Structures are given as C-alpha cells and as structure tokens.
Amino acid sequence: MSGAGTANAVLQRSPGRLDLVELPLPDIGPDEALLRVEACGICGTDVEQYGGALFDSIGPTSPFVPGHEPVGRIAAIGARAARRWRLAEGDRVVVEPALPCGACRDCRTGRYVLCAGWDHYPMSYGFIPAKIPPALWGGFADLMYLHPNSVVHRVPDTVDPVVAATFNALAAGVEWGVEVPGTRAGDCVVVLGAGQRGLACVPAARAAGADPVIVTGLAADRHKLDLALDLGATAVVVAGEGDGAGDGGVPAKVLELTGGTPADVVIDVASHDPTTVLDAMRIVRPGGTVILAGLKGGKPVPGWVSDDVVIKGLRVQGVRAVGHTSFRRAVALIEAGGRPLHRLVTHTFALQDAAEAIETLAGNRPGTAPVSVVITPDPDSITPGTITPNTVPPTPTHP
Ligand SMILES: [Zn+2]
Ligand SMILES: [Zn+2]
C-alpha cells in the first residue's frame, strides 16, 4: 500500500508544548493498518504527560504524538491484518492503549496490559517516541499507525465515536467495579468519589446487576452526583463539612440509605484524600471487598488499623491496569445503549486545541466542570444533538 500523503498530528516537544505538524504516512505492510481517528479520549495520564512526565522515561529530546484512547475507522489495512483482526477498510474500532510484545511471561499468561514492552520505552500508544518509525503512535492525529500487535475492538457504525471514546474510562469502571471485586446481581456497591472513573463504575456495576449502587461525592461535585443518578446509581451521598476526615459521617449516611446493611463492594476512587480508605473499611461488610483505585499522592492513611482487615476478613485490593475482558465488556456497554453514556462527555475539542482540552480536563479553566474530554480531529463527525461542544455545566466548580 502506498505511503503517499501526510497526517496531521499533535507533537509534544517539551512539557506543556503541543504543536500541530504534518507527518508522512507510512507504507502499510500485510500485518499493519492505518486508522482514521474520529475521536480520542483523554484522561489524567494525558495531563501528567502534558506536564512532562513521559520525558523522564523516553528522554528530554524525544518528541512524541500523545493520545492513547483512540476511536476511528480503518483507513487502510494489510491482507493478513484484515484476516487476523476480522476487519475491513471502513470498519470502526477502538484501540487498547497497550502494544504488548506477545512473548514475555505477562503476555503469555494473559496479563499483557502489564507487558513491559520489548524496548527501553513504554510500548503503549501515545507513549512511543516519534523517532521510532512511523512516528504516528498516538491518537492526537487524524491518521494513526496500527502496529501488528495492536489490540482492537470492533464498534458498530451506530455508535457515536465521541461516546465510544469513553471506552477507556468505562473499561476501568468494569474492571474496578465488576471484574476485580467479582460483583454479582443483588450486590450492594458503594463508589467513593464521583470523578470520571467513579462515574464509569456505575453503569458497569448496574449492568452486572448490582443493586443498590451508591455514589458519594463532595458538594462541589453535585452535578457529577446528578449524572451518577442518570447513569444508574440508586442513590448518592453528599459528603458534608468534616465528613472527609474519616470521622464516620459518610459511612453513617451510606448505611442509613441501606437500612444498616453494609456493602458487598466498596470502590475508593477518591484521589488525594486518604481518609476515604477508612470510610471504605467502615462501609464494607465482613468478608467484603474494598477496591483501592484512587491515588492519594503518597499520603499515608491516618489512624488506619490493620486489625480491622483481619477481624472483618476483608479483601483489600489495589487496581491500576485494565484487562482485555473489561475493554470488551465496556464496548458491549457502549453498544447496548440504555444509559446516557454520552453525558459523560462534557467537552470536545479540535486537534489544534489539544492543549486547551488537557488544560480543561486538568481543571485549569474556571467555569468549566469537566468529566470526560474528547479530542475530535474532524469536529463535523460529531452527531448533531448528542454532544454539545464545550458545554459549561450549570453548576460552577469551586475555584
Ligand atoms: Zn487514559
Ligand atoms: Zn509482553
């Protein structure tokens, strides 16, 4: 296949600097493909990357094309790739971030998302230096290279690509809210924290049959708690002043809602506040599961007594990576519809506004209350009526 032509791609050259550039298209071999990117989700990792985190591992003079949550249509595909992936030109897919080697112990035992890669740089889309040909390793571009080791999932034409761009967040919701804790029909699930990942746990847990599903958040997150209800939460709890100190305020409110029955599963996705770990321990039933997903900025949990884990016979499980099954179920959730997942996407931005997209998600744009932010190389591809670009939700955030 001819490599004539160029792609428009965002290149990160240094911390906080994104440039829109033209990069040459590669020849596509029999095991490879080219993706016409329709939408690319962004998350906290993009914010860290934008701040320069990746240069620590790939070197300060290694520009790269960011974007690891891409959705698009197959623009070109080699004959063997078409057979292996059961795809044809024009098919819509989402691409998992990981680009596994296929040979290491983690890959061989099905944990390819933990694959350390086969070189000294991270093998994940959006993280590979542009000096590695063909440079188009990220979703912040209108065309992106698909390596033979890519993990792709077909998405039906009927799904809005901007909604499909929530697949990464939803996959985390499936992994943390269902797969890892083993959530079953009728389980009581409590989600501490109403951010993007916490909200994503809601439709996932509901799809698994969990009932009730209760989400907690701060008063400043009221609009996100309302969204949680729209996504299937059976109740929400607003943490009051002083409730964040692990003093039992939030657990008391949650247990009041359940009639005193403790939760089967508590998922702590609250970032930076270590005291929610204590809340989780109070809310969970003996023998239940506490999932720790929110990073606390290295802070210890004040007053944490490990005896409580022993006496209650708890499973306390940390999670970070997201596995293949969760990606597959997330795509199925998106495909099934039924919940207003499009409401997770509060902002869309064109390719040339990638920096603004990241600043918005990072909370650096007063007056915006972002949940999920999506980059769309072709803004005309947004289905009218589903997403309103750059919406400012009615409830203002705290400064
Ligand atoms: Zn991400
Ligand atoms: Zn591997």
CB of 104 closer than 8 Å to CB of 34: no
Annotate 62-98 with b (16+ C-beta within 10 A) or e (fewer): bbbbbbbbbbbbbbbbbeebbeebebeeebbbbbbbb
Residue 146 contacts residue 34 (beta carbons within 8 Å): yes
Q: Given this model, what pLDDT does residue 59 score?
A: 73
Mean pLDDT of 198-219: 97
Model pLDDT for residues 67-104, shown as the tens digit of each residue: 999 999 999 999 999 999 999 999 999 999 999 988 89
User: pLDDT averaged over the chain?
Assistant: 90
Question: 27-49, pLDDT tens digit by residue?
Answer: 999 999 999 999 999 999 999 99
Rounded distance from Cα 172 to ligand 1 centre (Å): 10
Cβ neighbourhood burial of 109 (10 Å; 0-12, 13-18, 19+):
exposed
- 382 C-beta neighbours (distance < 10 Å), count: 20
Q: How far apart are CA 358 and CA 346, in angstroms?
A: 13
How much distance in Å is there from the Cα of 173 to the middle of ligand 2? 24
Domain ranges in the chain with CATH number 3.90.180.10: 6-164
Inter-residue contact 288 to 315 (CB < 8 Å) = yes
Amino acid 41: pLDDT: 97
67 CA → ligand 1 middle, Å: 8
**pLDDT tens digits, residue range 380-395?**
655 444 443 333 333 3
Neighbours of ion ligand 1 (CB under 5 A): 43, 45, 168
What is the CATH topology of the domain spanning 6-164? Quinone Oxidoreductase; Chain A, domain 1 (3.90.180)
- Using left for φ > 0, alpha for ψ between -120 and 50, and beta otherwise, residue 281 falls in alpha
What is residue 57's predicted lDDT score, i.e. its pLDDT? 72
pLDDT tens digits for range 233-273: 999 999 976 555 445 699 999 999 999 999 999 999 998 89
Q: What is the pLDDT of residue 247?
A: 54
Judged by its nearest atom, the ligand closest to the C-alpha of residue 102 is 2
Find the 149 Cα to ligand 2 centroid distance in Å.
Answer: 10
Domain with CATH 3.40.50.720 in the chain: 171-318
User: How many A from CA of 260 to the centre of ligand 1?
Assistant: 37
DSSP string, 273-337: -TTHHHHHHHHEEEEEEEEE-S--TT---TT--THHHHHHT-EEEE-----HHHHHHHHHHHHH-
Q: What is the pLDDT of residues 277-286, one digit of tens each?
A: 999 999 999 9
Q: At what angle do helices 196-207 and 324-336 cross, to 10 degrees?
A: 80
Task: Among the bound ligands, name the one nearest to the CA of residue 40.
Answer: 1
Give the ranges where the chain is alpha helix by DSSP (H): 44-50, 55-58, 79-85, 105-108, 161-164, 167-174, 196-207, 222-230, 249-257, 276-283, 307-312, 324-336, 354-361
Give pLDDT, residue 55: 75
Q: What is the pTM of this model?
A: 0.90
The CA 100 to ligand 2 mean position distance, Å, reads 5
Residue range 175-197: mean pLDDT, rounded: 97
Neighbours of 282 (CB within 10 A): 18
Report CA(38)–ligand 2 centroid distance (Å). Answer: 29
Q: How would DSSP label each residue in 240-257?
A: -TTGGGSSSHHHHHHHHH
Q: How many angstroms does the Cα of residue 56 sit away from the middle of ligand 2? A: 22
Distance 174 CA to ligand 1 centre (A): 15
Q: pLDDT-derived band of residue 114, with 50, 70 and 90 as boundaries?
A: confident
pLDDT of residue 111: 86
DSSP string, 339-362: S-GGGGEEEEEEGGGHHHHHHHHT
Indicate whether 143 pLDDT > 60. yes
**pLDDT value, residue 73:** 98
Residue 389: the pLDDT is 38
Ligand lying nearest the CA atom of residue 165 = 1
With 50 as the cut, is the pLDDT of residue 341 above it? yes
**Percent of the chain having pLDDT more than 70?**
91
Which residues share a beta bridge with 23?
7
Residues 42 and 354: their CA atoms lie apart, in Å, by 10
The matching CATH number, chosen from 3.20.20.70, 1.20.120.420, 3.40.50.2300, 3.40.50.720, for 171-318 is 3.40.50.720
What is the structure's pLDDT at 388? Answer: 39
Q: Looking at residues 202-227, what average pLDDT do you find?
A: 96
